[in-house]
Chain A
């Protein structure tokens, strides 16, 4: 029988994989991709919690879905801005390796 805990464990697994990607990779674009994985883990968690909810309580039955819509919106805005920044830095430094993004070092 499919229960809430299955979806929670799936989302925790996906979040950990994304976290590893953010910490271990050096290419800025790969870090953006890993952040997308983490955001999707959170979305799965929200929708599962909303779908397995009993009536009543502080939240209505659709709050999880609506928060997911907002997260998807913010993720789209975030990817657009982050990739614009990466393109800008690539134009100045000719690399996307985050170890060489040291312009603030004196």
Chain B
């Protein structure tokens, strides 16, 4: 059996079970930790795809920043009714809907031309060519992304600060 396929299957199994843990776990802090492991395994999938730069970005932004921010939000919104927030009463319908989406998307992938025309080898993405593409073809979207981050930063501060002013 192919070594790549074995590594891919192990990482995928960890990823899907951690993702199921996020949506099924009763304890919300366990959900956040499962999310951390799921995001780290996504970085592993990026490594299988020979995209080491994006794997590092994934670990830094998702594993380092987003999970920490979510844990802080969990800490700040803790109250006594917290453990009792149950699932929606219509959760079986949600399950059926997601299975339908799963089947539809899988069938359309198996019939797609993109799959038939795809290469069978993975072409690695070097950091150098990625960077030169980002700063030539994609320079204006890159600058706009920094603007989006600035607006989101200011917006988050304005929304979350207390009304009283001062402290």
Chain A interface residues (CB < 8 Å from chain B): 1-10, 12-21, 23-27, 29-30, 32-34, 36-37, 40, 43-44, 47-54, 60-62, 65-66, 68-70, 72-81, 83-88, 90-91, 94-97, 99
Contacts and interface: CB of A to CB of B under 8 A. Distances in A.
Given A4-B118, A26-B87, 9 more contacts: A9-B109, A15-B101, A20-B94, A34-B22, A51-B125, A65-B54, A72-B62, A80-B152, A84-B160
A84 B159 contact: yes
10 contacts: A4-B118, A17-B19, A17-B22, A30-B23, A37-B19, A40-B62, A70-B141, A81-B159, A84-B157, A94-B79
B23 A21 contact: yes
Residue in A15, A29, A68 whose Cβ sees the most chain B Cβ within 10 Å: A29
B117 interface: yes
B20 A23 contact: no
B86 interface: yes
B70 A79 contact: yes
Interface of B: 2, 4-5, 8, 12, 15-16, 19-20, 22-23, 28, 31-32, 35, 38-39, 42, 45-46, 48-51, 53-54, 57-58, 61-62, 65-66, 69-70, 72-74, 76-77, 79, 81, 85-88, 90-91, 93-95, 97-99, 101-102, 105-106, 109-110, 114-115, 117-125, 129-130, 133-134, 137-138, 141, 145, 148-149, 151-153, 155-157, 159-160, 162
Contacts, number: 241
B73 A83 contact: yes
A14 B23 contact: no
Q: Which 6 A-B pairs have the closest CB atoms?
A: A23-B94, A77-B152, A21-B23, A84-B160, A84-B156, A16-B102
| Secondary structure of the A contact surface, majority rule | helix
B69 A47 contact: no
Contacts of A60: 133, 137
B88 A88 contact: no
Contact of B105 (A15, A54, A61, A65): A15
A70 B155 CA distance: 19
Contacts of B28: 27, 29-30
A69 B102 contact: no
A40 B77 CA distance: 25
Residue in B23, B91, B125, B155 whose Cβ sees the most chain A Cβ within 10 Å: B23
